[in-house]
Chain A
């Protein structure tokens, strides 16, 4: 057994040396972005190419777990990725992202004070802020009994009979775990298997009534009336309103996750310099505002306000009314033990 494994490793190492020299060779002037679908305006990519001469291409992932999987399997040759703090924390811990010294970049001064630091990346060395928003749920008043739902996660986790099979959930571990934790009153960072079991029980009880778990196409799904209620990010909810002005975005009273996404660079990115150029460029007010106008989320750049469209600031899904402020729940760094529990609850739910 050992001899075989040695032989296999020896052989693979030899091939690896030859291949990696060939594989890492990449043409100058390229930039490969790896992002959620529908999370970056195509026109902004064209603008970047026009201004810098660097040719960007964009591929999409379906969840942060997929992104992490790709990075663990060798990075896939991507230069810029868009992870949230949990995933970014794991990536920093595992050495999967490059220390690109964002804090020393020319445009870093444009970053809003609170965003100049991040729990998992305190001095913003690895990451720059991209968008931030909240995770709540959206419903179509025309499709729910009585035309109104309570502002509670209970409407999703214990749906009324009429809504069974007519709800959709996000397919994102952190968001779903957090929502179930708020609902059951358990800490997001619990290390207690019994508490994790409570979360799992709520999710498993809900599972038969969920039409689909998906992060892609949430806007289309709500617009086309395929479901009545959709766990959703606020920017997506904002974009649903363009097609269906009556939909309501709910900030659930048990707790609403406040999240931030970042721009980061994989450790073995083939076009490291271009990636830095891109991140610095994204810290300009005009460009950050363009991204906000497209995605419907807020950015963290000083002076971007004057480029924002009117529709954004007038929508309570984007510009949160003051009374909901105490419902927001920020990101917390959880221990490995807690992350492991979360991961196992998710695996059990999805199998």
Chain B
């Protein structure tokens, strides 16, 4: 390459190379704009949550009062409890259903299989607001009272693809010779599943479950339409507060939620990395 370029360089004197592959003018600037855009609102939110003044925008002094008020707010605690309960149930059910389906789908070939794959991914395709109101109609027509149960069902359904895809991807990446070896060593199908398939799938199952958990925890739209008494989750509760107005207590609750999400994502990433190495 250098020979070619040297030759061409010799043939066309006076021309200079236009650039370096890794250095482009303006790129760093745009990246700074990007990160400022992404992090500035979060920084403002956190900063204002420590403001002692009730008027939110005018800084008068540092205070932890709003965190104390927020953490003593029983409604908030109850909503957080509901959020966790729903996320646990939904991510567990979705992961269990997805694991079963992924095992069979990855080792089987049959007519209509791609249609089934599409069906499992359906919650990703249909806009959430459409799914939410359709579920509302469904439960209302059946005469089922909206509440924890309906929210859990709806969450389980939209969590399925989030759990299914990582598990499926993990299974696709496995070496089929491992199963042949188990078979050659006279392992029964159940033994093969328990001792070979399941341990190998575990990283996929874990990351699927964590993803489903986060998606459920984050959800607002479905819960808003399908929920009822006793199913107020943290996002629903915060929405109610925001509707009434901006307040430092909302800032504090939001900052706590922010911190929890970031911590959870960091942990799941670290876990995932550990598994990759193992």
| Interface of A toward B, CB cutoff 8 Å | 12-13, 15-16, 19-20, 22-24, 26, 30, 32, 34, 37-38, 57, 59-60, 62, 70, 72-79, 216-217, 220-221, 268, 270
Contacts and interface: CB of A to CB of B under 8 A. Distances in A.
B145 A268 contact: yes
Given A37-B240, A217-B244, A220-B244, A76 B228 contact: yes
Contacts of B229: 32, 34, 57, 59, 76-79, 270
B255 interface: no
A270 B244 contact: no
Contacts of B146: 73-77
Contact of B140 (A13, A72, A79, A270): A72
Q: Which of B75, B146, B232 has the most CB of A within 10 A?
A: B146
B239 to A, nearest CB: 10
A220 B243 CA distance: 12
B194 to A, nearest CB: 32
Contacts of A268: 143, 145
Contacts of A216: 243-245
Contact of A37 (B136, B227, B244): B244
B7 interface: no
B143 A20 contact: yes
Contact of A217 (B149, B232, B243): B243
Contacts of A59: 229, 232, 240
A266 to B, nearest CB: 9
B142 A13 contact: yes
22 contacts: A16-B142, A19-B139, A19-B144, A19-B150, A20-B143, A23-B145, A23-B149, A23-B150, A32-B230, A34-B229, A57-B230, A57-B232, A59-B229, A59-B240, A73-B140, A74-B145, A76-B146, A76-B147, A76-B227, A77-B230, A217-B243, A270-B145
A24 B228 CA distance: 12
A23 B147 contact: yes
Contacts of A24: 145
B244 A77 contact: no
A226 to B, nearest CB: 9
A73 B75 CA distance: 25
Contacts, number: 90
Nearest to A25: B149
B78 interface: yes
Contacts of A62: 243
Contacts of B144: 16, 19-20, 23, 74
A304 to B, nearest CB: 27
Contacts of B227: 76
B138 interface: yes
A146 to B, nearest CB: 29
Given A23-B145, A26-B230, A220-B244, 15 more contacts: A13-B142, A23-B147, A23-B150, A32-B229, A57-B230, A70-B228, A73-B140, A74-B140, A74-B146, A75-B228, A76-B227, A78-B228, A217-B245, A221-B245, A270-B229
Interface string B14-52: 000000000000000000000000000000000000000
Given A22-B149, A77-B229, A12 B240 contact: no
Nearest to B247: A220
B139 A74 contact: yes
Interface in B109-147: 136, 138-147
Given A22-B149, A217-B243, A217-B244, A15 B142 contact: yes
A74 B231 CA distance: 15
A13 B139 CA distance: 10
Nearest to B150: A23
Would you list the 3 A-B pairs with minimal beta carbon distance, nearest first? A16-B142, A76-B228, A32-B229
Contacts of A74: 139-140, 143-146, 228
B102 to A, nearest CB: 25
Interface in B194-253: 227-232, 240, 243-245
A216 B227 CA distance: 21
Given A76-B147, A78-B229, A20 B243 contact: no
Nearest to B78: A57
Given A19-B142, A20-B144, A73 B136 contact: yes
Contacts of B232: 57, 59
A19 B153 CA distance: 10
Nearest to A221: B245
B244 to A, nearest CB: 4
Interface in B36-86: 75, 78
A298 B143 CA distance: 37
B142 A12 contact: yes
Nearest to B225: A73
Contact of A12 (B136, B138, B231): B138
Nearest to B237: A59
B271 to A, nearest CB: 34
A220 B78 CA distance: 26
Contacts of B143: 16, 20, 74, 268
Contacts of B145: 20, 23-24, 74-77, 268, 270
B244 A20 contact: no
B228 A77 contact: yes
Contacts of A78: 228-229
Contacts of B240: 37, 59-60
A12 B142 CA distance: 6
Contacts of B231: 77
A20 B140 CA distance: 11
A205 B189 CA distance: 75
Contacts of B75: 57
A268 B140 CA distance: 12
A68 to B, nearest CB: 13
A216 B240 CA distance: 10
